[in-house]
Amino acid sequence: MRDLWNKLRRRFGRDKLALFSVAVIAIYTVTGLLALSGILAPDYARSVGDAYAPPSWIHPLGLDVLGRSIWERTVQGARVALIVGFVSTFIAIPFGTALGLVSGYFRGVVDAIVVWLYSTLDSVPTILLLLTLALVLPTGKGLATVCIALGITSWVSTCRVVRGEIIRQKEFDYVRAARSLGATDGRILFIHLLPNALHLILVQASLVFVYSIKSEIILSYLGVGVQNFPSWGVMIDDARLELVGRGVWWQFAAATGALFVLVLAFNLFNDALKDALDPNQS
């Protein structure tokens, strides 16, 4: 584990784009935490001026139809994006990792059931599955439902990747040696195999995080996601008619710009993470 973190620190220290992506993600994270604590953008729901007021020194991103600050609503949108990303990832990654471990190690009936399960889920169009779950979950429409729905549907790729790695690793000499010394299946799985698949799990966690953010925005735009809260998807939906009917572009630009910068930073981060953890590179 220590060698893994040392390798990450060394590789990221030499990659300026990777450092830039980490800095951007850190800024978004701090912004979301400050918004969650109520320190930043606490008056996002209050009218502070005239409807459709353009960007100015007082309101750098302008005001919406109700005179609310688009800057504060964009900041609160970062809060929603980070909550969805973290919660969905913490649901999907452990679940997908656990299924991938037992499926790849024990094979047989267990493997057949897991493969059938993720193949079935993978055969259903993702957006339709998300829409269905968002509508039928007992928690109703809202942030909690979105997080649960995304967590339920985002584990498949992690499970498939971990399963393939465990199938490959279990035939290595170190696993055979551990088994010959009397190590239990649990010890082999969690002490020997899991650490050697950790680099793939970290990459998958980053991919699931950004996928969850983008999916939440789509669901909120379609009206089955976050309700009565300034998600970027809700802002884009609100700005749709403003842009076409009145030429009011600032709410649309704020939401899409915030999303673009965050997704770009995560894409750069994912590329750097894959390169840093590639076992074929020293």
Residue by residue, DSSP assigns 79-129 as HHHHHHHHHHHHHHHHHHHHHHHHHHHH-HHHHHHHHHHHHHHHHS-HHHH
Contact (Cβ atoms closer than 8 angstroms) between residue 54 and residue 250:
yes
User: What is the crossing angle of helices 70-106 and 156-169, to 10°?
Assistant: 40
pLDDT at 244: 77
Kindly tell me the burial class for residue 194, based on how many C-beta atoms sit within 10 Å of its own C-beta (0-12, 13-18, 19 or more).
middle
pLDDT exceeds 90 at position 248: no
pLDDT tens track for 169-212: 888 888 889 888 888 888 889 888 888 888 889 889 989 999 99
- More confident call, 154 vs 125: 154
Residue 127: Cβ within 10 Å count: 13
Three-class SS state of 64: coil
pLDDT exceeds 90 at position 29: yes
Region 15-22: mean pLDDT is 84
- More confident call, 131 vs 261: 261
pLDDT at 139: 64
Signed CA dihedral, 126, 128, 134, 136: sign only = negative
pLDDT at 71: 92
pLDDT at 42: 84
In the chain, pLDDT over 90 holds for what percent of residues? 33
Rg (CA), the chain: 22
pLDDT tens track for 81-132: 999 999 999 999 999 999 999 999 998 899 999 999 999 888 888 778 877 8
For residue 97 the two structure tokens come to 């990792």
- More confident call, 145 vs 207: 207
In the chain, pLDDT over 70 holds for what percent of residues? 92
pLDDT exceeds 90 at position 50: no
| Helices and strands counted in the chain (H then E) | 12, 0
pLDDT exceeds 90 at position 166: yes
As a whole number, the mean pLDDT across the chain is: 86
Region 56-73: mean pLDDT is 88
